[in-house]
Amino acid sequence: MTDVAMHHLKATPETTRFGILDARFPAVLEVISGDTVVIECVSGSPEMLPAAGSGFVIPKSLAAIHDARPSRIGPHIITGPVAIDGAEPGDTLEVHVNKIEFGAEWGFCAVRPLSGTIPADFPDGDITYIRIDAERKYCMLPWGAKIPLAPFFGLMGVAPPPSYGALSTKEPREFGGNIDNKELGAGSTLFLPVMVPGANFVVGDGHGVQGDGEVCVNALEICLTGTFTFKLHKKREGMVGLSYPRAETATHFISFGMNANLDVAMEKALREMIDFICMKTGWSRVEAYKTCSLAVDFRITQTVNGEKGIHGMLRKGLLF
Protein backbone atom coordinates (compact mmCIF):
# COMPACT_ATOMS: atom_id res chain seq x y z
CA MET A 1 0.00 0.00 0.00
CA THR A 2 1.34 3.44 -0.94
CA ASP A 3 1.60 5.96 1.89
CA VAL A 4 -0.42 9.14 1.51
CA ALA A 5 1.52 12.39 1.47
CA MET A 6 1.31 16.13 2.04
CA HIS A 7 2.05 18.38 -0.95
CA HIS A 8 2.39 22.14 -1.38
CA LEU A 9 1.40 23.99 -4.54
CA LYS A 10 2.28 27.68 -4.78
CA ALA A 11 0.59 30.18 -7.08
CA THR A 12 3.14 31.02 -9.79
CA PRO A 13 2.99 31.86 -13.50
CA GLU A 14 3.67 28.15 -14.15
CA THR A 15 0.96 26.74 -11.83
CA THR A 16 -1.92 29.10 -12.60
CA ARG A 17 -4.27 29.99 -15.46
CA PHE A 18 -6.13 33.26 -15.90
CA GLY A 19 -9.82 32.70 -16.43
CA ILE A 20 -9.50 29.58 -18.59
CA LEU A 21 -10.74 26.02 -18.09
CA ASP A 22 -9.62 23.45 -20.65
CA ALA A 23 -9.29 19.66 -20.55
CA ARG A 24 -6.07 19.98 -22.58
CA PHE A 25 -4.18 21.74 -19.79
CA PRO A 26 -1.59 19.36 -18.29
CA ALA A 27 -1.48 18.76 -14.56
CA VAL A 28 1.08 20.73 -12.59
CA LEU A 29 0.97 18.20 -9.73
CA GLU A 30 -0.04 14.54 -9.52
CA VAL A 31 -1.14 12.93 -6.25
CA ILE A 32 -2.77 9.70 -5.12
CA SER A 33 -6.13 9.18 -3.48
CA GLY A 34 -5.83 10.11 0.19
CA ASP A 35 -3.14 12.74 -0.32
CA THR A 36 -3.45 16.24 1.08
CA VAL A 37 -2.40 19.34 -0.85
CA VAL A 38 -1.91 22.90 0.43
CA ILE A 39 -2.84 25.13 -2.52
CA GLU A 40 -2.09 28.85 -2.70
CA CYS A 41 -4.62 30.95 -4.61
CA VAL A 42 -4.54 34.63 -5.52
CA SER A 43 -7.29 37.01 -6.61
CA GLY A 44 -7.45 40.26 -8.51
CA SER A 45 -7.16 41.15 -12.17
CA PRO A 46 -4.85 44.09 -13.01
CA GLU A 47 -7.72 46.55 -13.37
CA MET A 48 -8.99 45.64 -9.91
CA LEU A 49 -5.75 46.10 -7.98
CA PRO A 50 -5.05 49.11 -5.75
CA ALA A 51 -2.70 51.82 -6.96
CA ALA A 52 0.86 52.14 -5.71
CA GLY A 53 1.02 54.19 -2.53
CA SER A 54 -2.53 53.30 -1.50
CA GLY A 55 -1.32 51.39 1.54
CA PHE A 56 -2.70 48.08 0.23
CA VAL A 57 0.22 45.73 -0.46
CA ILE A 58 -0.16 43.43 -3.48
CA PRO A 59 1.14 39.90 -2.71
CA LYS A 60 4.36 39.09 -4.59
CA SER A 61 2.86 35.93 -6.09
CA LEU A 62 -0.06 37.90 -7.57
CA ALA A 63 2.27 40.56 -8.97
CA ALA A 64 4.52 37.90 -10.54
CA ILE A 65 1.56 36.27 -12.31
CA HIS A 66 0.44 39.58 -13.82
CA ASP A 67 4.02 40.47 -14.80
CA ALA A 68 4.06 37.25 -16.87
CA ARG A 69 1.09 38.55 -18.91
CA PRO A 70 -0.83 35.26 -19.13
CA SER A 71 -3.53 34.58 -21.70
CA ARG A 72 -6.97 35.37 -20.34
CA ILE A 73 -10.62 34.60 -21.00
CA GLY A 74 -12.53 34.88 -17.71
CA PRO A 75 -12.11 36.78 -14.44
CA HIS A 76 -10.46 34.29 -12.08
CA ILE A 77 -6.88 33.22 -11.46
CA ILE A 78 -6.99 29.47 -10.75
CA THR A 79 -4.26 27.23 -9.37
CA GLY A 80 -3.74 23.75 -10.82
CA PRO A 81 -4.64 21.38 -12.31
CA VAL A 82 -3.94 18.70 -9.70
CA ALA A 83 -4.28 15.19 -11.13
CA ILE A 84 -5.33 12.22 -9.00
CA ASP A 85 -3.60 9.03 -10.07
CA GLY A 86 -6.03 6.45 -11.47
CA ALA A 87 -8.98 8.81 -11.90
CA GLU A 88 -11.05 8.04 -15.00
CA PRO A 89 -14.22 9.44 -16.54
CA GLY A 90 -17.21 8.08 -14.62
CA ASP A 91 -15.40 8.13 -11.28
CA THR A 92 -16.20 10.60 -8.48
CA LEU A 93 -13.65 12.88 -6.84
CA GLU A 94 -14.23 13.74 -3.19
CA VAL A 95 -12.57 17.00 -2.15
CA HIS A 96 -12.47 17.73 1.56
CA VAL A 97 -11.67 21.31 2.55
CA ASN A 98 -9.56 20.90 5.68
CA LYS A 99 -8.43 24.45 6.27
CA ILE A 100 -8.57 27.93 4.74
CA GLU A 101 -6.03 30.68 5.51
CA PHE A 102 -5.92 34.29 4.38
CA GLY A 103 -3.12 35.26 2.00
CA ALA A 104 -3.58 39.03 2.21
CA GLU A 105 -4.70 41.63 4.73
CA TRP A 106 -7.25 43.13 2.36
CA GLY A 107 -9.75 42.25 -0.31
CA PHE A 108 -12.05 44.14 -2.63
CA CYS A 109 -15.68 44.36 -3.68
CA ALA A 110 -16.61 46.02 -6.95
CA VAL A 111 -19.52 46.98 -9.14
CA ARG A 112 -18.75 46.51 -12.83
CA PRO A 113 -20.71 48.11 -15.68
CA LEU A 114 -23.16 45.72 -17.38
CA SER A 115 -22.64 43.14 -14.62
CA GLY A 116 -24.43 42.12 -11.46
CA THR A 117 -28.07 41.37 -10.73
CA ILE A 118 -29.50 44.82 -11.53
CA PRO A 119 -26.91 46.32 -13.91
CA ALA A 120 -29.22 49.06 -15.24
CA ASP A 121 -29.40 50.53 -11.74
CA PHE A 122 -25.62 50.79 -11.42
CA PRO A 123 -24.08 51.71 -14.80
CA ASP A 124 -20.79 53.04 -13.39
CA GLY A 125 -17.84 51.03 -12.13
CA ASP A 126 -17.03 51.33 -8.44
CA ILE A 127 -14.45 49.47 -6.33
CA THR A 128 -13.88 49.38 -2.57
CA TYR A 129 -10.76 47.97 -0.90
CA ILE A 130 -11.53 46.39 2.44
CA ARG A 131 -9.09 45.53 5.22
CA ILE A 132 -9.61 42.38 7.25
CA ASP A 133 -8.71 41.40 10.79
CA ALA A 134 -7.89 37.72 10.30
CA GLU A 135 -7.20 37.17 14.01
CA ARG A 136 -10.53 38.63 15.13
CA LYS A 137 -12.27 37.25 12.01
CA TYR A 138 -14.09 40.29 10.73
CA CYS A 139 -13.83 43.04 8.13
CA MET A 140 -14.87 46.66 8.60
CA LEU A 141 -16.53 48.33 5.62
CA PRO A 142 -15.60 51.98 5.03
CA TRP A 143 -19.25 53.02 5.49
CA GLY A 144 -19.34 51.51 8.97
CA ALA A 145 -20.63 47.95 8.80
CA LYS A 146 -18.68 45.25 10.64
CA ILE A 147 -19.05 41.82 9.01
CA PRO A 148 -17.75 38.48 10.37
CA LEU A 149 -15.43 36.67 7.97
CA ALA A 150 -16.47 33.29 6.55
CA PRO A 151 -13.86 32.34 3.93
CA PHE A 152 -14.43 29.86 1.11
CA PHE A 153 -13.32 29.25 -2.46
CA GLY A 154 -15.85 30.42 -5.03
CA LEU A 155 -14.30 28.17 -7.66
CA MET A 156 -13.54 24.47 -7.21
CA GLY A 157 -13.88 22.03 -10.05
CA VAL A 158 -12.42 19.38 -12.29
CA ALA A 159 -11.50 19.70 -15.96
CA PRO A 160 -14.50 20.06 -18.28
CA PRO A 161 -15.29 17.49 -20.97
CA PRO A 162 -12.68 17.68 -23.79
CA SER A 163 -15.40 18.48 -26.34
CA TYR A 164 -16.06 21.82 -24.62
CA GLY A 165 -12.65 23.23 -25.56
CA ALA A 166 -11.48 26.37 -23.76
CA LEU A 167 -14.07 27.90 -21.42
CA SER A 168 -14.28 31.02 -19.30
CA THR A 169 -14.09 30.43 -15.56
CA LYS A 170 -17.15 32.64 -15.10
CA GLU A 171 -19.89 30.04 -15.62
CA PRO A 172 -20.30 27.06 -13.27
CA ARG A 173 -21.34 23.82 -14.93
CA GLU A 174 -21.60 20.07 -14.31
CA PHE A 175 -17.87 19.86 -13.58
CA GLY A 176 -18.16 22.42 -10.78
CA GLY A 177 -16.14 25.57 -11.30
CA ASN A 178 -17.39 28.99 -10.21
CA ILE A 179 -20.22 27.69 -8.01
CA ASP A 180 -19.85 30.56 -5.49
CA ASN A 181 -21.55 28.65 -2.68
CA LYS A 182 -20.74 30.11 0.72
CA GLU A 183 -21.46 26.78 2.46
CA LEU A 184 -18.22 25.31 1.04
CA GLY A 185 -15.93 26.59 3.78
CA ALA A 186 -13.48 24.71 5.96
CA GLY A 187 -14.89 21.33 6.99
CA SER A 188 -17.06 20.95 3.89
CA THR A 189 -16.75 18.26 1.23
CA LEU A 190 -17.43 18.65 -2.48
CA PHE A 191 -18.13 15.66 -4.73
CA LEU A 192 -17.34 16.12 -8.42
CA PRO A 193 -17.91 13.87 -11.46
CA VAL A 194 -14.62 13.04 -13.18
CA MET A 195 -14.62 14.09 -16.86
CA VAL A 196 -11.01 13.39 -17.92
CA PRO A 197 -8.20 11.02 -16.88
CA GLY A 198 -6.67 12.36 -13.67
CA ALA A 199 -9.74 14.53 -12.93
CA ASN A 200 -7.50 17.64 -12.98
CA PHE A 201 -8.80 19.67 -10.02
CA VAL A 202 -8.47 23.46 -10.02
CA VAL A 203 -9.30 26.03 -7.35
CA GLY A 204 -9.42 29.81 -6.97
CA ASP A 205 -11.70 32.83 -6.50
CA GLY A 206 -11.06 33.25 -2.79
CA HIS A 207 -13.88 34.92 -0.87
CA GLY A 208 -13.57 36.36 2.62
CA VAL A 209 -17.33 36.56 3.05
CA GLN A 210 -20.36 36.49 0.74
CA GLY A 211 -24.12 36.70 0.98
CA ASP A 212 -26.30 34.23 -0.92
CA GLY A 213 -26.82 35.69 -4.38
CA GLU A 214 -23.48 37.56 -4.61
CA VAL A 215 -25.72 40.22 -6.13
CA CYS A 216 -23.24 42.95 -7.19
CA VAL A 217 -20.98 40.32 -8.90
CA ASN A 218 -18.26 40.34 -6.21
CA ALA A 219 -17.96 38.91 -2.73
CA LEU A 220 -15.03 40.05 -0.59
CA GLU A 221 -12.48 38.95 -3.23
CA ILE A 222 -9.26 37.98 -1.49
CA CYS A 223 -6.18 35.76 -1.69
CA LEU A 224 -6.64 32.47 0.18
CA THR A 225 -4.62 29.31 0.77
CA GLY A 226 -6.56 26.07 1.16
CA THR A 227 -5.65 22.63 2.46
CA PHE A 228 -7.50 19.87 0.58
CA THR A 229 -7.63 16.09 0.92
CA PHE A 230 -8.58 14.14 -2.20
CA LYS A 231 -10.32 10.78 -2.24
CA LEU A 232 -11.12 8.92 -5.44
CA HIS A 233 -14.28 6.83 -5.70
CA LYS A 234 -14.08 4.39 -8.59
CA LYS A 235 -17.18 3.76 -10.66
CA ARG A 236 -18.65 0.38 -9.75
CA GLU A 237 -19.71 -2.02 -12.44
CA GLY A 238 -23.42 -1.71 -13.14
CA MET A 239 -23.69 1.53 -11.14
CA VAL A 240 -24.35 4.98 -12.57
CA GLY A 241 -21.62 7.42 -11.57
CA LEU A 242 -22.15 10.94 -10.28
CA SER A 243 -23.02 13.32 -13.13
CA TYR A 244 -23.36 16.59 -11.22
CA PRO A 245 -21.71 18.16 -8.15
CA ARG A 246 -22.93 17.43 -4.65
CA ALA A 247 -21.63 18.56 -1.28
CA GLU A 248 -21.97 18.17 2.43
CA THR A 249 -21.05 20.11 5.53
CA ALA A 250 -21.04 19.11 9.18
CA THR A 251 -24.76 19.89 9.31
CA HIS A 252 -26.22 19.53 5.79
CA PHE A 253 -26.30 17.59 2.53
CA ILE A 254 -26.31 19.96 -0.47
CA SER A 255 -27.59 19.63 -4.04
CA PHE A 256 -26.88 22.08 -6.85
CA GLY A 257 -28.68 23.40 -9.90
CA MET A 258 -27.12 25.77 -12.45
CA ASN A 259 -28.70 27.38 -15.50
CA ALA A 260 -29.09 30.78 -17.13
CA ASN A 261 -32.76 30.53 -16.16
CA LEU A 262 -33.20 30.51 -12.38
CA ASP A 263 -36.38 28.43 -12.66
CA VAL A 264 -34.50 25.72 -14.56
CA ALA A 265 -31.68 25.88 -12.01
CA MET A 266 -34.27 25.30 -9.29
CA GLU A 267 -35.66 22.28 -11.13
CA LYS A 268 -32.15 20.81 -11.45
CA ALA A 269 -31.32 21.33 -7.76
CA LEU A 270 -34.64 19.71 -6.82
CA ARG A 271 -34.13 16.69 -9.10
CA GLU A 272 -30.61 16.25 -7.76
CA MET A 273 -31.93 16.28 -4.17
CA ILE A 274 -34.70 13.83 -5.08
CA ASP A 275 -32.11 11.48 -6.59
CA PHE A 276 -29.92 11.80 -3.50
CA ILE A 277 -32.77 11.04 -1.09
CA CYS A 278 -33.87 8.03 -3.17
CA MET A 279 -30.29 6.73 -3.24
CA LYS A 280 -29.90 7.07 0.54
CA THR A 281 -33.31 5.69 1.53
CA GLY A 282 -34.72 3.52 -1.25
CA TRP A 283 -37.89 5.63 -1.22
CA SER A 284 -39.87 6.26 -4.40
CA ARG A 285 -39.39 9.50 -6.32
CA VAL A 286 -42.82 10.77 -5.33
CA GLU A 287 -42.03 10.08 -1.66
CA ALA A 288 -38.73 11.94 -2.00
CA TYR A 289 -40.46 14.81 -3.85
CA LYS A 290 -42.93 15.28 -1.00
CA THR A 291 -40.10 15.05 1.51
CA CYS A 292 -38.26 17.86 -0.27
CA SER A 293 -41.34 20.03 0.05
CA LEU A 294 -41.47 19.31 3.77
CA ALA A 295 -37.83 19.27 4.79
CA VAL A 296 -35.41 20.78 2.24
CA ASP A 297 -34.53 24.48 1.99
CA PHE A 298 -33.72 25.74 -1.50
CA ARG A 299 -31.59 28.87 -1.63
CA ILE A 300 -30.22 31.15 -4.34
CA THR A 301 -26.49 30.53 -4.66
CA GLN A 302 -25.63 33.35 -7.05
CA THR A 303 -27.37 35.36 -9.78
CA VAL A 304 -24.36 36.91 -11.55
CA ASN A 305 -22.37 34.24 -13.40
CA GLY A 306 -24.49 33.79 -16.51
CA GLU A 307 -25.30 30.28 -15.28
CA LYS A 308 -27.21 31.16 -12.10
CA GLY A 309 -27.31 28.84 -9.10
CA ILE A 310 -29.75 27.26 -6.66
CA HIS A 311 -28.74 24.90 -3.89
CA GLY A 312 -30.84 22.57 -1.75
CA MET A 313 -30.04 22.17 1.94
CA LEU A 314 -31.08 18.96 3.77
CA ARG A 315 -30.21 18.94 7.45
CA LYS A 316 -28.26 15.84 8.51
CA GLY A 317 -30.06 13.51 10.89
CA LEU A 318 -33.49 14.71 9.84
CA LEU A 319 -34.25 11.80 7.51
CA PHE A 320 -31.34 9.36 7.88
Q: pLDDT per residue over 185-210, tens digit each?
A: 999 999 999 999 999 999 999 999 99
pLDDT above 90: residue 236: no
pLDDT above 60: residue 155: yes
Which residues on neighbouring strands pair with residue 228, listed in sequence order?
A: 37, 97
17-31, 56-70, 144-158, 226-240: the lowest-pLDDT one = 226-240
What domains, with CATH codes, occur in the chain? Answer: 6-239 (2.60.120.580), 251-320 (3.10.28.20)
Rounded average pLDDT over 170-195: 98
Question: Which of 209, 205, 201, 300 has the alpha carbon at shortest distance from 259?
Answer: 300
Question: Which helix (H) or strand (E) element contains residue 140?
Answer: strand 138-140
Q: Using an 8 Å Cβ cutoff, are 11 and 40 in contact?
A: yes
Distance, CA of 39 to CA of 54 (rounded, Å): 28
pLDDT of residue 74: 97
Q: Using an 8 Å Cβ cutoff, are 270 and 312 in contact?
A: yes
Q: Is the pTM of this model over 0.85?
A: yes
Q: pLDDT per residue over 16-63, tens digit each?
A: 999 999 999 999 999 999 999 999 999 999 999 999 999 999 999 999
Q: Using an 8 Å Cβ cutoff, are 11 and 42 in contact?
A: yes
pLDDT of residue 237: 64
3-state SS, residue 307: coil
